[in-house]
Structure 1
């Protein structure tokens, strides 16, 4: 292995792929300040050091993937939540692929909302969303079409009104005949009525429902993205306290039916034939330190033939 240190200063401007990790790392100081009194001393130290060292794999074709580093894995960490969202996206694409290619089902994306609430009501509203969704899935119409679902909670913050907007992103597996069967098909108006009844709130004015395509990255992103954006929960001390108390310990994503079965199979190593390589051979490792508010290269390793590798869906592509 080669340790190239002489070209470090010369090549700093070449590392454009550091933009996103650097953006997330730059928020860590503010994050630590807001969370340090809510976690143990040990966790505080892990957060303080999170992302101080990051490693990337580089292919012969100049493709880059984040591959390692020291991370705290705290749910609210800006850097770790970004990493998790990217990894979850690849997992969801695999699950969707299995549902569509092997089980021959179609997918629909459903977004369920309600009017915003003030901070004092956020935790109660999240619990009410969970109960309301339980009522929805028990309805005859829902059970008639659903072969499995994934439900993800997301909360956004409206700074102008100082209100919070919890909502659910849901993907539902349905039979291929769903879109042509007039007896089972549920249009947008009917979905809205069902959600109003389940939520016991006639003031709800809209739900979003659409058919998913195999390459529907927008839907995958909505399912995999952060349950709360750092720009929202780091807005102020009070905002962070509200998000933290409302989301701490909550189950943010749930798998049901067909998706739950497939997830177990994937964890057991099945469906590997659907896990696609990006076609690149990665032959270098680049290691960076966070110094003076920026990442600086401190080591480049050339991988031997036996160490070269293809990267699959559980790695993070830097886009």
Structure 2
């Protein structure tokens, strides 16, 4: 049962945060993953281990007269690998980007959208990953400045993802980019860039001595059905806004392997910007006064408007380390 109606707050009640759409928020699952991450950091003797352990330990919710539940206060560690924080960041990325895309579509209704994936060769340790991610950020900056790319570019959203190859333990670092271009992009050889063109330009921007894997596809416009058009763009948004690193890649149950992966990822992701906006998308982000996803507020991340409803009372949930669950105080 998931309800807060007429509940006795003196009883030990398990937290159940159920949204208006019926979806139950996975607080317990994310905190359990956070605990697993903390234990690995503790073994590796990272100074931030204790800070990570207190992430999302106490959650305060406002309950409205209509029975809606909204997170009001919490503290999150914002560590790049924290499963709890990455869950919150992903929700925030998706909602912020959706708002930005809707505004760009309003301003540029004839614009076209492209989904670009850029990758380079896998690496095998944290030092190589750190070097590769820095090079990719600089390579992407160069790519966006090339004349044929720039001439029709309206704006972009770029996110970087790192995955672990289960067969050889290497790291695959790649970028998902949602591009907004002028409609003339598809008109004439002087405007259009084929997949071979994008591949060649990415190889040039990265100064590679091999041909990298690059994929480009158009987000299909549905002129007769705008709802489908938004759905297609929304699917691209979800792909671009997803986790930078999946906790399943370093919480496998193989302690020796997990320790090595966490150590490498901590080194590789240190002080990296995993998401960025450019052009009109960046301008809209700034005009809407949206805060930084990676270092901003992780309490208010969803798009429910319960803040306009009057608060009836508040409840506080505490993480019980022995019972491995959240209980209402």
TM-score tier by shorter-chain length is 0.7 to 0.9
The alpha-carbon deviation at position 54 of structure 1 amounts to 2.2
SS at match of 2:175: strand
1:132-173 CA distance string (max 9 Å, x none)? 223322322111121222221111111221110000111222
Cα distance in structure 1, aligned partners of 2:117 and 2:51: 35
Cα distance in structure 1, aligned partners of 2:25 and 2:203: 43
The alpha-carbon deviation at position 245 of structure 1 amounts to 0.4
The alpha-carbon deviation at position 34 of structure 1 amounts to 2.7
Q: Is the 8 A contact 1:196 1:202 kept in 2?
A: yes
Q: Is the 8 A contact 2:117 2:214 kept in 1?
A: no
1:272-315 CA distance string (max 9 Å, x none)? xxxx97576755655322221012233xxxxxxxxxxxxxxxxx
Cα distance in structure 1, aligned partners of 2:165 and 2:304: 39
Cα distance in structure 1, aligned partners of 2:26 and 2:6: 25
Cα distance in structure 1, aligned partners of 2:317 and 2:104: 39
**Counterpart position of 2:114:** 108
**Counterpart position of 2:259:** 237
Q: How does 1:20-169 map to 2 (within 5 A)?
A: 20-36=26-42, 40=47, 43-56=48-61, 65-104=70-109, 105-119=111-125, 120-169=127-176
Q: TM-score, normalised by structure 2?
A: 0.75
- Change in Cα spacing, 1:19 to 1:92, as seen in structure 2 (3 Å) is closer
SS at match of 2:263: helix
5+ long unaligned stretches in structure 1: 270-275, 299-319
- Change in Cα spacing, 1:124 to 1:13, as seen in structure 2 (3 Å) is closer
Q: Is the 8 A contact 1:109 1:211 kept in 2?
A: yes
Q: Is the 8 A contact 1:111 1:170 kept in 2?
A: yes
Q: Is the 8 A contact 1:18 1:295 kept in 2?
A: no
The alpha-carbon deviation at position 49 of structure 1 amounts to 2.0
The alpha-carbon deviation at position 180 of structure 1 amounts to 4.0
- Change in Cα spacing, 1:107 to 1:5, as seen in structure 2 (3 Å) is same
- Change in Cα spacing, 1:206 to 1:151, as seen in structure 2 (3 Å) is closer
The alpha-carbon deviation at position 22 of structure 1 amounts to 1.3
- Change in Cα spacing, 1:17 to 1:232, as seen in structure 2 (3 Å) is same
- Residues matched between the structures, number: 289
1:48-91 CA distance string (max 9 Å, x none)? 22222224456777765544323223232210121111112111
